[in-house]
Structure 1
Amino acid sequence: MSELETEALKRKERLKLLKSKRAIDQENTSAEQGKQPEKPKLKFRSYNPQTESLKETKLPKAKPNAVEPEIQDVLKSAKDNDIGDVNLANLAPRKVDWDLKRDIAKKLDKLERRTQKAIVEIVQSRLAGPKEGEIDLAAAVAIAGKEQTEYDSD
C-alpha cells in the first residue's frame, strides 16, 4: 500500500467515528426533546387580563413606601443650613457649550495676551508720531471732517 491509500483509510475511519458520535448526540437530543422546557410565567403588573386563567397571574397593586420620615429629615437639615451657604451659580443649569468653552479657554487666554500686546504696540507707534510717508491719525480725521463739512454745505 502506498502512503495515499493509508491516509485514505485513516480518513474513512475518522469519518465513521464522527458519524457515530453525531448519531449518539441526535439520540440524546431527541430524548431530551420529549421533556418540554418550562415556559416563563407571565406576570401582569399594569395589565388587567380578560381570561380567567391569566387573571391568576396578575400581581397585586404595589403600595408606595412611606417617605414622610425621609422628607422630615431633609427639611430639618435644610433649616439648619443657611441660605447664604448655597451657591446659586451651582444650581443654575449649564449652557450647552460649557465644555467647548472649557476646552478652548487656554487658547483664548493666549490670544487675549497677544491681542493686548498688539494693541500696546499700535498705541506706542501712534504716540511716537507718524513715520515717513504716513499721515498722522489726528490729521487724517481733521481732513475727513473738513471734507464732510464742505460736502454738507453744498
Structure 2
Amino acid sequence: MSTEEENAIEAVAVARRERLRALREAQELLQTPDNDDDDNNNSNTNQDDEDQNDVQMKFRNYLPHDKQLQEGKVAPPALPKFEDPMATLPPPEEKKEDPFLNIVPKKPNWDLRRDVQKKLDKLEKRTMKALAQLMEEEEKKRKMAEEDAENGEE
C-alpha cells in the first residue's frame, strides 16, 4: 500500500510540475513581443501620442497649477434665480393665546398620585383590615346583645 501511495504522490507532483512549466512558457510568450506586432504597435503608439496631444481638458471644479492647463478652465454654470413662492404670500394671522394655558396637564394631580401611589396602596390594605375587624366586633356585640335579650326574656 505504501508503494501505491508513493506512486500517487509522485503522479500529483509530476502533474504540478507540468502545469507550472506551461504557465512559465505562457508568461514568456506574453512578455516577448512578436516582430509583426512591433510594427503595428509602433504605429499605434504614435497615433496615441498624437491623440493625447490633441485632447482638450476641461476643468470645472479644479484650478490646475500648470499654465497650459489653466486655459482649459471652464466658468462655473450660472444658476437660475430662485423665486420663493412662499415669500410672495402674506404671513398668516395668528391668534394670540397665552402659551401657559397649553402647559396645564389633563389631570392636575397626576404627578402627586404617581409619587404617593405605593403609600395609598398600603393604606388601602390597612383600611380594609380595620373595616373587617370593626365589622367582626359589631357582629360579636350584636350576638351578645341578642343572647342577653334572650337570657333576659326568659
- Specify if TM > 0.5: no
Q: For this structure pair, what is the TM-score category when the shorter chain's length is used for normalisation? A: 0.3 to 0.5
The TM-score normalised by the length of structure 2 is: 0.36
Over alpha carbons, which structure has the higher Rg?
A: 2
